[in-house]
């Protein structure tokens, strides 16, 4: 769940790449004006991806944003939406990597057995 080394660095780059792709996959202005919450949610999602906070949940939000963009824009910008869908799906399945706040919060912990009372 939290690989380090080259794999962890690759996951950090994947998180940053997804944040950049997600920022570019915003739907048209007509849809954005009807959804006032859209831009703060997008900024929070991109920031959380870069920091690696709640990565599986934020990846699910990225999938939802890409799906709305794909359905609203149609054939005009389908490449970017599919790219976001694939990257977010990979992050949901693999995890955030060792270089994330998720790894610091939920990472590997040492569990020691209790001494029996007696």
Kindly report, residue by residue over 9-41, the tens digit of the pLDDT.
888 899 999 998 888 776 655 555 566 666 777
Report which listed range, 64-68, 83-87, 113-117, is most confident. 83-87
Give the span between the Cα atoms of 97 and 49, in whole angstroms. Answer: 12
Residue 25 inside a domain? The answer is yes
Give the span between the Cα atoms of 56 and 91, in whole angstroms. Answer: 7
Residue 98 inside a domain? The answer is yes
* Counted domains in the chain: 1
Residue 113 inside a domain? The answer is no
Indicate if the pLDDT at residue 66 is higher than 70: yes
In the chain the first and final C-alpha atoms are separated, in Å, by 38
| Owning domain of residue 94 | 5-102
- What's the pTM? 0.75
CB within 8 Å of 78: residues ≥ 6 apart: 70
Give the pair of three-digit tokens for residue 61. 């939000």
């Amino acid at each position: 769940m939290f690989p380090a080394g080259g794999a962890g660095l690759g996951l950090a780059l994947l998180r940053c790449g997804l944040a950049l792709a997600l920022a570019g996959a915003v739907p048209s202005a007509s849809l954005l004006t009807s959804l006032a919450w859209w831009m703060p949610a997008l900024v929070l999602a991109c920031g959380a991806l870069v920091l690696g906070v709640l990565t599986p949940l934020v990846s699910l939000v990225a999938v939802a944003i890409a799906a709305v963009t794909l359905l609203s824009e149609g054939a005009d910008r389908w490449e970017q939406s599919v790219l976001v869908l694939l990257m977010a799906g990979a992050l949901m399945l693999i995890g955030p990597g060792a270089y994330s706040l998720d790894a610091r919060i939920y990472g590997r912990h040492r569990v020691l057995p209790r001494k029996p009372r007696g």
